[in-house]
Structure 1
Amino acid sequence: MKVLIIVLVILLTISVFRYFRQRTYLKTLTEAQFIEGYRKAQLIDVREPQEFKNGHILGARNIPLTQLKQRLIELRKDKPIYLYAQSEFRSARAAQVLHKNGYQDLSHLKGGFKKWTGKVK
């Protein structure tokens, strides 16, 4: 029983640490903030191609999280990157990958595409 409690405390500590660390390099933007800046940024949809085909934010490029490491060359490090997925989970994971590879100006959409009310294609 003690071992289980120790393991749970360690996992919780790691999760909290990652959450706060991520906040140092990833901005979470409201829809209004996202709309205000995404035309000047690289707008990346990290969902899978079928999800992208079913609807996406106008002007977005589809680079699925599963392909991101192989397609880093398609992204510029000198321009902001705006990420989104269905919710916030995959875009946060994508930001983690990008941050580890030297990308700095990273933002993602609060609530993800499912909360988006702006223009879609």
Structure 2
Amino acid sequence: MTALTIVLWLILAWIIGVQLYNWLVGRKVSKVVENEEFKAGLRKGQVVDIRESADFEAGHILGARSMPYSQFALYENALRKDKPVYLYDQNRSLCVRIAKRLYKKGFNEIYILKGGYAKWDGKTKKAKY
């Protein structure tokens, strides 16, 4: 085995390890839910779309607030700790990072939409072009 092959295997192992760690931490701080459970919580919780503004404007879950991932620090103080937070993005990857951040700030009920907006089958609001 060459040195390059060993380095590539180590990089691959590191990437897999980081992904596994993020998955485990995400499971600890939040609950990934299907469409039906997400729909059931829409009225009692705070629905947050963390996709960028252009994606939100093109279409979003009815009743969701736009808090883009790239600017989340500006918006996070608008969330209430006493109400559940329902997060979604395009496919779920960024939600785990936001869930960890909210958990560290004292949020206890954090839900992530499985499959993100791409898999959503409920009511949406589309842009009027």
What TM-score do you get using the length of structure 2 for normalisation?
Answer: 0.84
Q: 1:39 aligns with which of 27, 40, 43?
A: 43
> Which of 71, 78, 82 is the equivalent residue of 1:74?
78
Which stretch shows the higher mean deviation, 8-17 or 64-73? 8-17
Which segment drifts farther, 13-22 or 76-85?
A: 13-22
| 1:102-121 → structure 2 map (5 Å cutoff) | 102-121=106-125
Number of aligned residue pairs: give it.
121
Would the aligned equivalents of 1:69 and 1:97 in 2 still touch at CA under 8 Å?
no
Measure how far apart 1:45 and its partner are: 0.6
Return the match for 2:26 from 12, 19, 22: 22
Give the corresponding residue for 2:99: 95
Amino acid of the structure 2 residue aligned with 1:27? K
Distance in 1 (alpha carbons) for counterparts of 2:105 and 2:70: 15
Name segments (4+ residues, structure 1) moved above 3 Å: 2-8
SS of 1:56's partner is strand
Instruction: Name the CA shift for 1:14/1:87 in 2 (closer, same or farther; >3 Å).
Output: closer
Secondary structure of 1:39's counterpart equals: coil
- The unaligned stretches of length 5 or more in structure 2 are none
Judging changes above 3 Å, is the alpha-carbon distance between structure 1 residues 74 and 10 closer, same or farther for their aligned structure 2 residues?
Answer: same
Question: Pairwise CA RMSD of aligned residues?
Answer: 1.6
Separation of aligned partners in 2, 1:6 and 1:86: 30
- Taking only the aligned residue pairs, the percentage that are identical comes to 39
Deviation at residue 94 of structure 1 after TM alignment: 1.8
How far residue 100 of structure 1 moved from its aligned partner, in angstroms, is 2.7
Gapped regions of structure 1 (runs ≥ 5)? none
